């Protein structure tokens, strides 16, 4: 079974503040501008919705209002996807071609490549951890979520630049090099947007 890592550049603090904000204008904008996307998601999860999962819009409303999160625990994934939708709305999608799809321990392999280049301030695998959703959003298996703050992005980029200054060029598999350079691209995008960080979702 394959997975996908979706990555967004955004103002993490501002996006987190949407959770529990009660912003009805935001909800209406989503319903008006993304109605077909919401309907497609409902079609995809139709059997789960029939068994008690919230619809995409119901989950989004719960997230924006900070609850209630009334769905049975096994359907809490809808709330995670609702937060992902908020990140997609407020952020910029970053090139994930090296990470979609991926199998097995690929994220950890890319982390090994980063560490070989002495980049330790960020971890790709941490974008797929279970504890990255803002409170009080519940989670269940997928999507998993993680964040890199603006400061972490800057630190990682400086580590990469220091590696280049040192002439440190360890041998890496070509596909790992490509993925690492994608990560460097994300870091440069964050560097160019003061205060912005990276949020990733594994699903």
* Beta partners for residue 147, in sequence order: 199
Q: What is the separation, in whole angstroms, between the first and last Cα of the chain? A: 11
Global confidence as pTM: 0.94
Burial (CB count <10 Å: 0-12, 13-18, 19+), residue 149 = middle
pLDDT in tens, the chain (203 residues): 799 999 999 999 999 999 999 999 999 989 988 899 999 999 999 999 999 999 999 999 999 999 999 999 999 999 999 999 999 999 999 999 999 999 999 999 999 999 999 999 999 999 999 888 999 999 889 999 999 999 999 999 999 999 999 999 999 999 999 999 999 999 999 999 999 999 999 99
Question: Would you say 7 and 96 are in contact if contact means Cβ atoms under 8 Å apart?
Answer: yes
Buried b / exposed e across 3-17, counting CB within 10 Å, b at 16+?
bebbbbbbbbeebbe
Cis, bond preceding 136 (omega within 30 deg of 0): yes
- Residue written as token pair 């199998």: 103
- Residue written as token pair 């504890």: 131
In angstroms, the CA 133 to CA 20 distance is 13
* Beta partners for residue 3, in sequence order: 102
């Amino acid at each position: 079974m394959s997975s996908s890592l979706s990555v967004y550049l955004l103002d993490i603090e501002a996006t987190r503040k949407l959770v529990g904000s009660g912003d009805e204008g935001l909800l209406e904008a989503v319903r008006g501008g993304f109605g077909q996307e919401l309907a497609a998601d409902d079609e995809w999860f139709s059997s789960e919705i029939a068994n008690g999962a919230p619809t995409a819009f119901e989950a989004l409303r719960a997230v924006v209002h900070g609850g209630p999160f009334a769905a049975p625990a096994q359907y809490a994934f809808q709330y995670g996807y609702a937060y992902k939708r908020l990140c997609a709305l407020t952020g910029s999608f970053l090139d994930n071609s090296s990470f979609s799809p991926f199998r097995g321990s690929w994220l950890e392999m890319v982390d090994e490549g980063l560490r070989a280049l002495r980049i330790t301030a960020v971890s790709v695998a941490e974008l797929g951890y279970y504890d990255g959703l803002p409170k009080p959003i519940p989670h269940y298996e997928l999507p998993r979520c993680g964040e890199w703050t603006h400061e972490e992005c800057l630190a990682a980029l400086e580590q990469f630049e220091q590696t280049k200054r040192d002439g440190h060029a360890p041998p890496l598999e070509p596909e790992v090099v490509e993925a690492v350079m994608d990560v460097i691209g994300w870091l440069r995008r964050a560097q160019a947007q003061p205060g912005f960080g990276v949020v990733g979702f594994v699903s």
